[in-house]
Chains A and B, each alone.
Chain A
Amino acid sequence: MNKILEVKNISKRFGNIQALRDVSFDVEKGEFVFIVAHTNAGKSTLLKIIAGILEPDEGEIYIEGENITKTPPWERPVGYMPQTYALFPHMTVLENVMFGPIHRGLDREEAIEKAQKYIELVGLKGWEKAYPHELSGGMQQRVALARVLAVEPKIILLDEPLSALDALLRVKLRGEIKKILKGKTVLWVTHDQEGAMSLADKLIVMRSGRIVAVGNAMELYYKPTSLYVAHFLGEINFIESVAHGGFVQILDTKVSTDKIGPVVIGIRPEDIKIVKNNSSPLGRVKELRFVGGFWRLLVDVEGIDLVVYSLKRIRSKEVSLRIHPEDVLVFDYPPEGIRRAVHLE
């Protein structure tokens, strides 16, 4: 075990709002961890507590085994990039990036050397003398990243670093940031579950101030521990059903389960296969949308609407569907009902 960060039982309240409830997790050295959650789930608050900008009501933070809960932010070995990365507008790129190292006691020459190294790493060599307003949004983002890197922190904390950028640039930059930060310990907070899944070594899913799942992206996507996590990580069909005799049934597929009574069956749209086979259950295509690289169908089978993804355009009004038992998830029926159980805000 090579734990670099341990977050233990952190709680935080703002007035009547319980922002964080008993949050605990570890980050290992060199791990790329995403905290992914809806707006107002407490994820930014958690990051600020780790950075030392906010104090928790309860709980402790350890870095390399040392309790730093009471350590002021500037003495913590963390590099924190807030959501509004607020570069100093009156300083050049070089001065912005030098600021941290100088603040932490390096002399001017050393600070310049450090700054230049990281400006080059983020791909901005040649822009040292430019002012922030002369740079594009994506470039400003990289300056902010260089500024965090220049203090050579043990952990890098990123709060929604791409939220200010448009969709196209976001996809491009998130891959670049991952490359720049390769080998570093990173804790990245976002609401974008797809981006998080695509880059994370480990995913922490939060909901309303609590951690509801920890694991790698594929585990959580294919074997989610709750309806909430299943739905949060991507589109999924939920069908109410009843389990008895060790089985539940969806279309003509029987799935064994140890649950008894009311259950919810979960099946991902990409796991419902359109087959050329007359013996499979027939559905009526109610809607067909091209959503960039694949087709999203709404199919009515025996009164149940199923979302189905297809790589090919489907031209017929009726399709035969097949579901493999190993792709089916079975959840206990939630006492609060499905809609509330998966509510995203």
Chain B
Amino acid sequence: MRIVVRNVRKRFGKVVAVDDVSFEVKDGEIFGIIGLSGCGKTTLLKIIAGILRPDSGKIYFDDVDVTNLALEERKIGFVFQDVRLFNHLTAIENIAYAPTLRGEQDREELVDWLMGFIRADLSKSTMPTELSRGMQQKISLARAIASEPNLLLLDEPLAGLDARIKSTMVFELRDMIKDVGVTAIYVTHDQWEISSIADRIAIMKAGKIIQIGTPEELYYRPVNEYVATFMGGECNLLNAYSLGNSQFKIGDLILKGSRNIENGRNVKLAIKLDAFIPNGRFEAKIIERNFMGPFTRLVLDINGIKFIAKMPSKQVFNVDKVFVDIDPNKIVVFER
């Protein structure tokens, strides 16, 4: 199912919660919406679901205008942050709830198939309350998928879970959604989580969408400083001025950026943490290091300028300096 959101606005009193938002979700796509709390993402989700009516604008499912359709007529599967399973039914009965209501004969097959997804050995009598919260959330998703919805809406489904559980579950959720091919909208405030699960992402701020793109596009081609620092957590933001030919000067350093700006203009460079390539020409003193597993976060001093970098841990073992190059494609240039 293709979802079209066109010029949607919603105001609560003086607050414009959703401000002229338009986007399209392709059939079978996992579309992410990310923003800080209060950015309007939950209101937008409620409008798509039919829980709230927009003040103006339209919602289409395929080519059908559903703007005035009620929630139940839109056939939407929900997964919320707080797990809402039927606790008087077994885990399996929860998954089979919608197929049973429809009186389907082959529900056993469908349930078996979904259970395979969840990768759990649940007995027929396992109740939701006996399960961990992560597992309950997987059952919620399986139940939502089994209802064969037009659209799946996931609102912070992994919030509140332990970091390590979240980082394994996010890929499991993606597998489950992609295997059935249902169109999904996934809302969170966690940029790592959204990059891991979504095909494309919309970043919202103060009711507006600032940028839509793939995780890679938002990370390496942010339209402004807000997106640059939002996607990726940390980012080096440095004042520089243009020397022409895509070259920029910061202190004594001359760096090549991802695009050209007229000579002499002041710019701001957003240098991503993974821009630092070993075996390069700049000598960098390591003045701080944080081991994070595959990568080590470093504070580097290059010619008296401090940079934050993330490099593969094994390349920076037991050394107090590294020689690096800075990848021009990972230096975003903003005009000032």
A-side interface residues toward B, CB under 8 Å?
A: 38-39, 166-168, 171-172, 175, 191-195, 197-199, 217-218, 221, 232-235, 268-270, 289-294, 296, 309, 311, 313, 339, 344-345
Contact = CB atoms under 8 A, between A and B. Distances in A.
B233 A191 contact: no
B291 A217 contact: yes
B163 A193 contact: yes
Interface string B200-229: 000000000000001110010000000001
A215 to B, nearest CB: 12
Nearest to B273: A293
Interface in B258-307: 272-274, 290-295, 297
A167 B190 contact: yes
What are the 5 tightest A-B residue pairs by CB atom distance, in nearest-first order?
A: A198-B290, A293-B274, A345-B132, A270-B294, A234-B293
Contacts of B189: 166-167
B162 A39 contact: yes
A38 B332 CA distance: 38
B195 A291 contact: yes
Nearest to B135: A345
B230 interface: yes
B165 A38 contact: yes
Given A198-B291, A291-B192, A291-B195, A192 B215 contact: no
A311 B272 CA distance: 13
Nearest to B189: A166
Nearest to B234: A171
B163 A191 contact: yes
Contacts of B134: 344-345
Interface string B128-158: 0000111100000000000000000000000
A42 to B, nearest CB: 14
Contacts of A294: 274, 294-295
6 contacts: A167-B191, A270-B312, A289-B196, A293-B274, A344-B134, A345-B135
Contacts of A309: 294
B291 A197 contact: yes
Contacts of B163: 191-195
